[in-house]
Amino acid sequence: MKPRSDVALAPLCTMGVGGPARWFVAARSEADVIDALRWAAARSMPVQVLGGGSNVVIADAGFDGLVIHVNVGGITRQDEGQAVTLRAGAGEAWDPFVATAVGEHLGGLECLSGIPGFVGGTPVQNVGAYGQDVSATIVRVHVVERGSGAPRTFTNRECGFGYRTSRFKHADADRYIVTAVEFTLPKDAPPTVTYADVVAYFTESKTAEPSLFAVREAVLAIRRRKGMVIEPGNAANRSCGSFFVNPVVDVDALRRVQDVAGAANVPHYPADAATVKIPAAWLIERAGFTKGTSRGAVGISPYQAQAIVNRGAARAADVLALAIDVKRAVWNTFGISIVPEPVFVGFAPSPELRFLLTHQRSH
Ligand code: NAP
């Protein structure tokens, strides 16, 4: 394990912006992760973890410390009768891992097809889409504690999963580095066809009992329509996917949005007994940032208003400025505070950045 200096980070991030890492190491095993932590601790150097780079915006100045690129690979399989436990290294690319599971006729991940990034990032925000989330199938998460360098394993219960969240995102943010994740997946399970978009896809194609593979293909097709699959020819390739979390609000906040936009016009879905989810994309478009809006080197995705895209040669400062304007427009129009999903790395503190990252109380 020998860190290299001044390594460009933009090519490792789907947004494709930002400066270099002062020091950088690719950690291929748990032991490498522990070594890297020791190396940084010996130099009192800050550490930034990087996985698939799909949920991070790196500052133009880069990161003045050690970036640990978690490249721990390997997939192992344990047969458990009606189910199989797949253990994947945190550095395995997520979508090929889903393809492996589907290829082995294992259920539980098919709706999570086409999501960029690595396996290790998925428990952190309990990645979910189209009716499934990883907390339903994760059985164990293997981590290294940053402070002590000690390995530790969390059971599903101990992960504190919630809607797009876990202990790794909040209570224990920045405390652990995920090195491997275990998923227990049922054999030959019927696929999950519950999400409206997926149901509509199979109604249109008149498919009564789609296979796991067909559901994977359907989700990929739906994501493609939204420009959410990173592949050649996609004008929205350089982005963090959804830039803002879909806000979960109380009924008073929903009523305020309805007062502005007309009660019948506001899409919303129950989150729990007292709250509803409002699609961030809808709020953003109604606040004036329609699909395809461009502002120099950055813009709003032509497919999906929730994604900010690098139109070529963008700087991190351009991304930040547009994100702040989008947030301010939604706040001023509807009194709803939307917060970004990506992590901001290396940015100097400023009132604007604080405004962007903070969840303001409704006014
Ligand atoms: P979308 O499908 O229009 O979803 C926008 C929001 O509306 C989501 O919060 C979604 O809830 C909710 N929603 C839509 N249809 C629903 C229904 N029939 N019942 C209940 N809630 C419904 O647009 P999108 O933003 O492109 O999202 C597509 C999928 O990807 C969603 O499942 C979304 O959650 C997921 N996604 C996940 C992440 C992540 O894991 N970090 C990031 C971006 C998008 P749900 O969130 O409960 O589905």
Nearest CA to ligand 1 atom 39: 127
pLDDT tens for the chain, residues 1 to 363: 799 999 999 999 999 999 999 999 999 999 999 999 999 999 999 999 999 999 999 999 999 999 999 999 999 999 999 999 999 999 999 999 999 999 999 999 999 999 999 999 999 999 999 999 999 999 999 999 999 999 999 999 999 999 899 999 999 999 999 999 999 999 989 999 999 999 999 999 999 999 999 999 999 999 999 999 999 999 999 999 999 999 999 999 999 999 999 988 999 999 988 999 999 999 999 999 999 999 999 999 999 999 999 999 999 999 999 999 999 999 999 999 999 999 999 999 999 999 999 999 876
- Phi, psi of 6, rounded to the nearest 5 degrees: 50, 65
**What is the DSSP code string of 18-48?**
--EEEEEEEE-SHHHHHHHHHHHHHTT--EE
How many A from CA of 109 to the centre of ligand 1?
16
pTM summary value? 0.95
Computed on alpha carbons and rounded to an integer, the radius of gyration of the chain in Å comes to 21
Q: Which of 169, 223, 242 to mutate for ligand 1's pocket (most ligand atoms within 8 Å of CB)?
A: 242
Neighbours of 150 (CB within 10 A): 11
Ligand 1 binding site (Cβ under 6 Å of any ligand atom): 125, 127-130, 164, 196, 226, 241-242, 246, 269, 277, 279, 281, 306, 341
Cα-based angle 43, 49, 50 (whole degrees, multiple of 5): 135
Among 164, 224, 311, 328, the one annotated catalytic: 164
